[in-house]
Amino acid sequence: MTLVAILTGAGVSTDSGIPDYRGPQGLWRQDPEAEKLVTYEFYMADPEIRRRAWRMRWDSPALKARPNAAHRAVAELEKAPGVAVRVLTQNVDGLHQLAGMPDRKVVELHGTARSVVCTACHARTTMAEALARVEAGEEDPPCLECGGILKSATVMFGQRLDPVVIGEAMSIAKAAEVFIAVGTSLQVQPAASLAGIAAEHGARLIIVNAEPTPYDALADEVVREPIGTSLPALLEGLR
Ligand code: ZN
For residue 31, the surrounding DSSP H or E stretch is none
Whether residues 215 and 187 fall in one domain: yes
Separation of CA 219 and ligand 1 centre (Å): 45
Whether residues 37 and 72 fall in one domain: no
pLDDT at 60: 86
Number of domains, the chain: 2
Separation of CA 1 and ligand 1 centre (Å): 43
Whether residues 12 and 42 fall in one domain: no
Residue ranges of alpha helices (H) inside 104-219 are 127-135, 163-175, 193-200
Separation of CA 141 and ligand 1 centre (Å): 11
Whether residues 24 and 14 fall in one domain: no
Last residue of a domain, one of 99, 127, 154: 154
Return phi, psi of residue 170, to 5°.
Answer: -60, -45
Whether residues 140 and 171 fall in one domain: no
pLDDT at 21: 77
Q: Residues within 5 Å of ion ligand 1 by Cβ? A: 118, 120-121, 123, 143, 145-146, 148
pLDDT at 32: 83
Whether residues 175 and 230 fall in one domain: yes
Strand bridging mode 111-118 / 124-126: antiparallel
Separation of CA 140 and ligand 1 centre (Å): 14
Last residue of a domain, one of 154, 174, 207: 154
CA distance 92 to 108: 7
Whether residues 121 and 183 fall in one domain: no
Strand bridging mode 150-154 / 111-118: antiparallel
pLDDT at 218: 94
Whether residues 88 and 25 fall in one domain: no
Separation of CA 222 and ligand 1 centre (Å): 46
Mean pLDDT of the chain: 94
CATH code, domain with 145: 3.30.1600.10
Whether residues 5 and 85 fall in one domain: yes
Whether residues 175 and 87 fall in one domain: yes
Whether residues 59 and 86 fall in one domain: no
Separation of CA 130 and ligand 1 centre (Å): 13
Q: Which residues, including other chains, have CB under 8 Å from residue 89's CB and lie 6 or more apart?
A: 7, 8, 9, 12, 96, 106, 107, 108, 109, 110
Of the candidates 71, 110, 122, 201, the residue annotated as catalytic is 110
Separation of CA 127 and ligand 1 centre (Å): 15
Judge contact between 208 and 179, C-beta under 8 A: no
CA distance 21 to 49: 17
Strand bridging mode 106-108 / 111-118: unpaired
Last residue of a domain, one of 128, 154, 180: 154
Whether residues 35 and 74 fall in one domain: no
Length of the chain measured in residues? 239
Separation of CA 144 and ligand 1 centre (Å): 7
pLDDT in tens, 184-198: 999 888 888 999 999
Instruction: Mark the ranges of the chain whose per-residue pLDDT is less than 70.
Output: 24-25
CA distance 211 to 215: 11
CA distance 225 to 162: 33
The verdict on whether 122 is a catalytic residue reads no
pLDDT at 24: 67
**Angle, alpha carbons 222-225-226 (nearest 5°):** 130
CA distance 62 to 79: 26
Q: Which domain holds residue 133?
A: 19-64+112-154
Judge contact between 23 and 187, C-beta under 8 A: yes
pLDDT at 127: 97
CATH code, domain with 81: 3.40.50.1220
Judge contact between 71 and 99, C-beta under 8 A: yes
